[in-house]
Structure 1
Amino acid sequence: MDKKQMTEEDIKLRYITPAITAKWNVDHITMETKITDGKINLKGNLVFREKPKKADYVLYINVNNPIAIVEAKDNNHTVSFGLQQAMTYAQMLDVPFAYSSNGDAFYEHDFLTGQERQISLSEFPSPDELISRYQAEANGGSGLNNQQKHIISQPYYTSQTTYTPRYYQRNAVNRTVDAIAKGQQRLLLVMATGTGKTYTAFQIVYRLLKSGMKKKVLYLADRNILVDQSIQQDFAPLEKTIHKINFTKDDPITITSHEVYFSLYQQLAGNDDNDDSAPDDDPVMRFASLFQKDFFDLIIVDECHRGSAKKDSNWRKILDYFSSATQIGMTATPKETKYISNIDYFGEPIYSYSLRDGIEDGFLAPFKVINIRTNIGEGWRPYKGQLDKNGKEIEDRIYTNSDFDYNIIIEDRTYEVAREITEYMKSTDRMQKTIVFCATEEHAERMRIALTNLNSDMVQKNPDYVVRITGSDVYGKNKLDYFISVSALYPVIATTSKLLSTGADCKMTKLIVLDQMIGSMTEFKQIIGRGTRLREKEGKTHFMVMDFRNVTRLFADPDWDGPIEQDDDYGKGGTKPGGTGPVTLPGPGPDPKEKPIVDEHGCTVKVIGKTVSVYDANGKLLRQESIVDYTKSNILGTYASLDNFIQQWSAEEKKESIRDLLLERGIDLEVMKADQNMSDVDDFDFICHVAFSQKPLTRIERANNVKKRDFLSRFKGVARDVLEALLDKYMNTGIYEIEKTEILKLDPFLKFGKPSKIAQYFGGKEGYLKAIRELEKELYKVG
Structure 2
Amino acid sequence: MSDPDKSQLTETEIRTRYITPALSTAGWPLTSLREEYYYFSAGRIQVVGKKGVRKKPKKVDYLLEWRPNLPIAVVEAKDNNHEPGDGMQQAIEYAEQLDVPSVFTSNGDSFVWHDRTGSRPDVEVEIPLDAFPSPDDLYALYKQWKGIEDADEPVIAGQFHDDGSGRRPRYYQRIAVNRTLEAIAKGQRRLLLVMATGTGKTYTAAQIIWRFMESFRAINPGKGQARVLFLADRNILIDQTMMNDFAMFKGRMAKLSASRGTISKVANAEDPDGGGSKVVDKSFELYLSLYQAVTGTEEIDNVYKQFSPDFFDLIIVDECHRGSAREDSAWRGILEYFGSATQLGMTATPKETKTVSNIDYFGDPLYTYSLKQGIDDGFLAPYKVIRTALDVDTFGWRPEEGQVDDAGNLIPDRHYTEEDIDDSIVFPERDKRVAERITEYLKSADRYAKVIVFCQDIPHANRMRRILANLNADEVRKDSRYVMQITGDDQQGKQELDNFIDPEMPYPVIATTSKLLATGVDAQTCKLIVLNSRVESMTDFKQMIGRGARVRTDYDKWFFVIMDFKNVTKLFADEGFDGDPVKVYELPPDGHMSDAIDELDDVDETASEGEDDEGPEQWVERPGARNVRRKRIVVSGQAVTIIGEQVQMLGTDGKPLTSSLKEFVRSGLLERYPTADDFVSAWLAADQRSALLDELVDAGIPLEDLAEQSGLALDPFDMALDVAYERQPIERRQRAAAVHANGYLGKYQGQMRSVLEALLGKYVESGVRSVEDIAVLRVEPFRSMGGPMELIRLFGTREAYFKAVHDLEQQLYQEAQ
Q: TM-score with structure 1 length normalisation?
A: 0.82
Residue 617 of structure 2: aligned partner: none
The answer to whether 1:41 aligns with 2:46 is: yes
Q: CA deviation at 1:80?
A: 2.4
**SS of aligned partner of 1:92:** helix
**SS of aligned partner of 1:255:** coil
The answer to whether 1:262 aligns with 2:270 is: no
Residue 175 of structure 1: aligned partner: 179
Contact 1:192 1:332 in 2 (8 A): yes
Residue 11 of structure 1: aligned partner: 14
Residue among 420, 428, 446 paired with 1:429? 446
Contact 2:712 2:731 in 1 (8 A): no
Q: Can you list the C-alpha shifts for 1:750-776, whole angstroms capped at 9, x where unaligned?
A: 99x999xx9xxxxxxxxxx9xx99x96
For residues 684 and 99 of structure 2, the distance between their equivalents in structure 1, rounded to whole angstroms, comes to 54
In the alignment, structure 1 segments of 5+ residues that lack a partner are 270-278, 713-718, 759-768
For residues 75 and 555 of structure 1, the distance between their equivalents in structure 2, rounded to whole angstroms, comes to 45
The answer to whether 1:614 aligns with 2:619 is: no
For residues 455 and 375 of structure 2, the distance between their equivalents in structure 1, rounded to whole angstroms, comes to 27
Residue 275 of structure 1: aligned partner: none
Residue 226 of structure 1: aligned partner: 237
AA partner of residue 101 (structure 2):
P
For residues 638 and 26 of structure 1, the distance between their equivalents in structure 2, rounded to whole angstroms, comes to 44
Contact 2:526 2:560 in 1 (8 A): yes
The answer to whether 1:398 aligns with 2:406 is: no
Are the structure 2 counterparts of residues 552 and 749 from structure 1 closer, same or farther at C-alpha, using a change threshold of 3 Å? Answer: closer
The answer to whether 1:99 aligns with 2:115 is: no
Residue 477 of structure 1: aligned partner: 494
AA partner of residue 152 (structure 1):
I
Residue 50 of structure 1: aligned partner: 55
Residue among 117, 130, 151 paired with 2:138? 130
Are the structure 2 counterparts of residues 387 and 728 from structure 1 closer, same or farther at C-alpha, using a change threshold of 3 Å? Answer: same
Are the structure 2 counterparts of residues 605 and 780 from structure 1 closer, same or farther at C-alpha, using a change threshold of 3 Å? Answer: same
For residues 778 and 118 of structure 1, the distance between their equivalents in structure 2, rounded to whole angstroms, comes to 55
Residue 125 of structure 2: aligned partner: 117
Q: CA deviation at 1:75?
A: 2.1
AA partner of residue 217 (structure 1):
V
The answer to whether 1:578 aligns with 2:596 is: yes
**SS of aligned partner of 1:421:** helix
For residues 749 and 220 of structure 1, the distance between their equivalents in structure 2, rounded to whole angstroms, comes to 58
The answer to whether 1:692 aligns with 2:728 is: yes
The answer to whether 1:353 aligns with 2:369 is: yes
Q: Can you list the C-alpha shifts for 1:95-115, whole angstroms capped at 9, x where unaligned?
A: 232222221222222322353
Are the structure 2 counterparts of residues 246 and 723 from structure 1 closer, same or farther at C-alpha, using a change threshold of 3 Å? Answer: closer
For residues 226 and 588 of structure 1, the distance between their equivalents in structure 2, rounded to whole angstroms, comes to 24
Contact 2:458 2:514 in 1 (8 A): yes
Contact 2:457 2:621 in 1 (8 A): no
Residue among 240, 243, 251 paired with 2:251? 240
AA partner of residue 597 (structure 1):
V
Q: Can you list the C-alpha shifts for 1:527-568, whole angstroms capped at 9, x where unaligned?
A: 111111111222111111000011111111121111211115
AA partner of residue 250 (structure 2):
E
**SS of aligned partner of 2:393:** coil
AA partner of residue 432 (structure 1):
A
AA partner of residue 458 (structure 2):
E
Residue among 329, 339, 346 paired with 1:330? 346
Are the structure 2 counterparts of residues 175 and 617 from structure 1 closer, same or farther at C-alpha, using a change threshold of 3 Å? Answer: farther
AA partner of residue 127 (structure 1):
P
Q: How many equivalent residue pairs?
A: 727
Q: CA deviation at 1:674?
A: 9.5
Are the structure 2 counterparts of residues 385 and 777 from structure 1 closer, same or farther at C-alpha, using a change threshold of 3 Å? Answer: closer
For residues 220 and 617 of structure 1, the distance between their equivalents in structure 2, rounded to whole angstroms, comes to 39
Residue 765 of structure 1: aligned partner: none
Which range moves more in the overlay, 665-674 or 232-241?
665-674
Contact 1:8 1:74 in 2 (8 A): yes
For residues 130 and 703 of structure 1, the distance between their equivalents in structure 2, rounded to whole angstroms, comes to 66
Residue among 88, 93, 112 paired with 1:88? 93
User: Which protein shows a greater Rg?
Assistant: 1
The answer to whether 1:293 aligns with 2:293 is: no
Which range moves more in the overlay, 397-406 or 295-304?
397-406
**SS of aligned partner of 2:392:** coil
Q: Can you list the C-alpha shifts for 1:270-314, whole angstroms capped at 9, x where unaligned?
A: xxxxxxxxx4424884321x2111111111111111121322111
Are the structure 2 counterparts of residues 701 and 240 from structure 1 closer, same or farther at C-alpha, using a change threshold of 3 Å? Answer: same
For residues 439 and 226 of structure 1, the distance between their equivalents in structure 2, rounded to whole angstroms, comes to 24
Contact 1:106 1:121 in 2 (8 A): yes
The answer to whether 1:309 aligns with 2:312 is: no
Residue 716 of structure 1: aligned partner: none
**SS of aligned partner of 2:411:** coil
**SS of aligned partner of 1:549:** coil
Identity fraction in percent: 43
Q: Can you list the C-alpha shifts for 1:468-502, whole angstroms capped at 9, x where unaligned?
A: 10011100001101111121111111000000011
For residues 450 and 702 of structure 1, the distance between their equivalents in structure 2, rounded to whole angstroms, comes to 45
The answer to whether 1:150 aligns with 2:154 is: yes
Q: Can you list the C-alpha shifts for 1:334-369, whole angstroms capped at 9, x where unaligned?
A: 111231111111111111111121112111111111
For residues 164 and 439 of structure 2, the distance between their equivalents in structure 1, rounded to whole angstroms, comes to 41
Contact 2:735 2:813 in 1 (8 A): no
For residues 719 and 753 of structure 2, the distance between their equivalents in structure 1, rounded to whole angstroms, comes to 19
Q: CA deviation at 1:74?
A: 1.9
Q: CA deviation at 1:131?
A: 2.9
**SS of aligned partner of 2:522:** coil
AA partner of residue 469 (structure 2):
T
Alignment of structure 1 residues 295-694 onto 2, 5 Å: 295-378=311-394, 379-569=396-586, 575-578=593-596, 580=598, 593-599=630-636, 601=637, 603-615=638-650, 620-623=655-658, 625=660, 664-666=695-697, 692=728
**SS of aligned partner of 2:519:** coil
Q: Can you list the C-alpha shifts for 1:125-183, whole angstroms capped at 9, x where unaligned?
A: 22233334444x2564xx5243x211333111112447211111111101111111221
Contact 1:356 1:617 in 2 (8 A): no
**SS of aligned partner of 2:649:** strand
Are the structure 2 counterparts of residues 597 and 253 from structure 1 closer, same or farther at C-alpha, using a change threshold of 3 Å? Answer: closer
Alignment of structure 1 residues 197-208 onto 2, 5 Å: 197-208=201-212
The answer to whether 1:732 aligns with 2:758 is: yes
Contact 2:525 2:552 in 1 (8 A): yes
For residues 653 and 723 of structure 1, the distance between their equivalents in structure 2, rounded to whole angstroms, comes to 26
For residues 419 and 813 of structure 2, the distance between their equivalents in structure 1, rounded to whole angstroms, comes to 61
Q: CA deviation at 1:212?
A: 2.3
For residues 705 and 133 of structure 1, the distance between their equivalents in structure 2, rounded to whole angstroms, comes to 73
**Aligned CA-pair RMSD:** 4.3
Q: Can you list the C-alpha shifts for 1:649-669, whole angstroms capped at 9, x where unaligned?
A: 899977987776556445999
Residue 764 of structure 1: aligned partner: none
For residues 196 and 209 of structure 1, the distance between their equivalents in structure 2, rounded to whole angstroms, comes to 20
For residues 34 and 666 of structure 2, the distance between their equivalents in structure 1, rounded to whole angstroms, comes to 47
In the alignment, structure 2 segments of 5+ residues that lack a partner are 218-224, 266-276, 601-619, 778-787
For residues 659 and 356 of structure 1, the distance between their equivalents in structure 2, rounded to whole angstroms, comes to 27
**SS of aligned partner of 2:257:** coil
Are the structure 2 counterparts of residues 78 and 684 from structure 1 closer, same or farther at C-alpha, using a change threshold of 3 Å? Answer: closer
Q: CA deviation at 1:780?
A: 6.8
Are the structure 2 counterparts of residues 113 and 498 from structure 1 closer, same or farther at C-alpha, using a change threshold of 3 Å? Answer: same
For residues 420 and 160 of structure 2, the distance between their equivalents in structure 1, rounded to whole angstroms, comes to 52
Are the structure 2 counterparts of residues 130 and 496 from structure 1 closer, same or farther at C-alpha, using a change threshold of 3 Å? Answer: same
Q: CA deviation at 1:726?
A: 8.4
